[in-house]
Chain A
């Protein structure tokens, strides 16, 4: 170092001297923006270094931060995955709970609706080696006996083949050994339901002349003394003509929603065979609300409409006509003058009775007077 300074002593002193004077100058001179050169030069000289230091600091800190963040993100990723898995399980659990609640509600509603005495039960396991046998959690201690039918709100499911104290073995309708009496809802074609291949059923002994078409519904007939009549069994998938019986394949409806909750028929009460499929039965629709002026006629109309069928309405019209003529039905002496029914509207024109609306069976009575006084009634 000393030799270096000796060798370049002159130039070093020159530079130092000039530098010192430059510093001196910079302390006094300002640039056009009124900033002293010492400040300008200092900032200009320091700024790049500061930038460099800051870049190094930012880079190193950013690297460390990114590393830590990545480390955290990895841990967070694992945690989120676990959370997602847990949520998925919870969703599945809640869905199952919801389905169970739905099924339980539907089963409860169905149980209250049908006249037969039934016992709710849950399927607890499948039979080994077969898909057409299950076990339910109600047994002989609950009153279950061999031969009892098993239902779901969608249709029949099977029959109890063995009743254990706390559980029962149920043979499903799809088992080839299962048999039950059925009848079609549309044309009342009777037959015997049998399991077919573990998934479908067939209806045997339906005469070839009985009209059965795909889409027809079959119901229990009650002939088997196992199921009460009128419960849905399934819908016809295919019909093959045969001699002497048709070959009918049936899609059972009782397992449409799976095997979860069932009803065991303890005391069967027969029902009517519906003539429409379960899913398309008529739905009651309330009449539209009357206008303000219709309030007075709404009441007698409701009274007259108490009977629902066309025959009831026709009967009410005849009875009203007889009453108007002072005739007492069932008490007239022989050879007495019969009432004149020729004035009964629609009489003799057929049952289609283009007859007056049954809601207004006696237009001459006082009860109907308000109808003629109503505003806008034609007066």
Chain B
């Protein structure tokens, strides 16, 4: 199992290595003749004005939070689903209760309009 993770680690290192090599080699080898036009921001369309780090809408936060809740729910249900073959009815009912409680959370968020993009 540890060997499987080793492959992921090797791919991680390669995926960090290749783009950084491309950038560094280009920075070393590339000729540098700057002028104001070249140094201006590469922008498609109108140049931005004001600060780019403005306050975002609260909807992003709510969406991320609803996602977090159901992410954790999926994590809890995954081991249960792996053991599904050897379970009795009682175990399945417990998981259904678990899901129903969270469905109530979804219903509440829905009713309150938290899922609507305004």
Task: Check if A and B associate.
Answer: no
Tell me the B residues contacting A by CB distance below 8 Å.
Answer: none
Which residues of A does B touch, CB under 8 Å? none
